[in-house]
Amino acid sequence: MPKLDLMFAHDMAHTDSTEMVKTAEVHGFRNAWVWDSTDVYDDYFVLSGIYAVNTSRIRIGPGVTNPRTRHPRVTANAMLTIHEISRGRAILGIGSGDHAVKTLGWRRATLSEMKEAVQIWREKFRQKGADIPIYAAIGGPMMDTFAFQYADGIIGGGGNTPESLRRAYQRIAARLKEAGRDIKKVPWLSMGMGCAISYDRREALDDARGPLARMLKGMIIDRPGTFPPALEHLRADAERVAKAYDYMKHMKSHVPHAELVTDALVEGLSVAGTPDEVLPKLKALWEEGKRLEAEEGADICFSVGPPGKGKKRSFDLFVQEILPHLN
């Protein structure tokens, strides 16, 4: 059976996000990930401590931090502190840097910097006898190479359809095999269950526009050629969004670049709407995850990432209206 993780950017009352993490724990979620941000969102180090003292089972950590804006030894110290406060439930998610470095005008970490950082983290953890898993985000040639060779777990990919999930699984399994590793022994966190849910359909669609704006920038500018052929008639709309993207408002909805995202793009690329509209899509994704685990013995976890201003509303509705049907 696939597992579930909670992952979110923190721009809400900490009391609300703490309730979300506590609810996730009650319902068996495995990990709670908080984005690391330089300018845009609240600090995950502080928030992780709050969540740690308010929970007892769920693992807690950044999803993801990087070795550029936070020196690896600073991150090691923070993770060891979370480990101690949570009584052994810290988890570390890493990447080369996206908006956290972009808002500073800095470059991403190089492959050699990523390798050095992991060596530092593992040595510091070893010295303290702390078992802190290190997950790495994939999404580009360098981070793919790094993650498949060195990470304890993989973050990213999967898409929000059964077909895209299976394609991503096959690619990740093949890349791990090339690195001499077995996907059965490397947990994979798929991002496919990021969803905006509301009884007011318009409210849900508006919440979904921010993350989709970043996705469109990736498809149009960062990785040209990945825009879906079936949506070619919407390319001009996607290009307007991509060109207007502002990292100082990274992944936020209800901001100028997000307002350029049309309903047609949301409907074509996101999971957003009323519970009745969202359930069939997430149920189909869940069932494909079950099939992959049964056929391949993989360790698949879906990231539930509620976007926009209505994060808690979307998450509460996921737990109330969607989760009972995922069995």
Distance of CA 282 to the CA centre of its chain: 16
pLDDT in tens, 268-322: 999 999 999 999 999 999 999 999 999 999 999 999 999 999 999 999 999 999 9
Percent of the chain scoring above 70 in pLDDT: 100
Q: What is the pTM of this model?
A: 0.96
Q: pLDDT value at position 127?
A: 98
Residues 136/147, Cβ–Cβ less than 8 Å: yes
Rounded Cα gap, residues 257 and 118, in angstroms:
35
Q: Judge whether residue 192 has pLDDT over 90.
A: no
User: How many percent of the chain have pLDDT more than 90?
Assistant: 98
Alpha-carbon span 132 to 62, nearest angstrom = 12
- pLDDT for 156: 95
Domains along the chain with CATH numbers: 3-198+274-325 (3.20.20.30), 201-268 (no CATH)
pLDDT in tens, 31-75: 999 999 989 999 999 999 999 999 999 999 999 999 999 999 999
Residue 133's contacts (CB-CB under 8 Å, 6 or more residues apart) are 59, 91, 92, 152, 153
Q: Confirm if 109 and 119 have CB atoms less than 8 A apart.
A: no
**Tens of pLDDT, residues 213-265:** 999 999 999 999 999 999 999 999 999 999 999 999 999 999 999 999 999 99
- Please report the pLDDT score of residue 120 as a whole number: 98
Token pair for residue 144? 């793919």
Distance CA 218, CA 295 (A): 32
Q: List pLDDT tens digits, range 73-130.
A: 999 999 999 999 999 999 999 999 999 999 999 999 999 999 999 999 999 999 999 9
Interatomic CA distance for residues 227 and 321, integer angstroms? 31
274-285: pLDDT as tens digits = 999 999 999 999
Q: What confidence tens digit (pLDDT) does each residue in 170-191 have?
A: 999 999 999 999 999 999 999 9
Give CA–CA dist 282/165, Å, rounded: 12
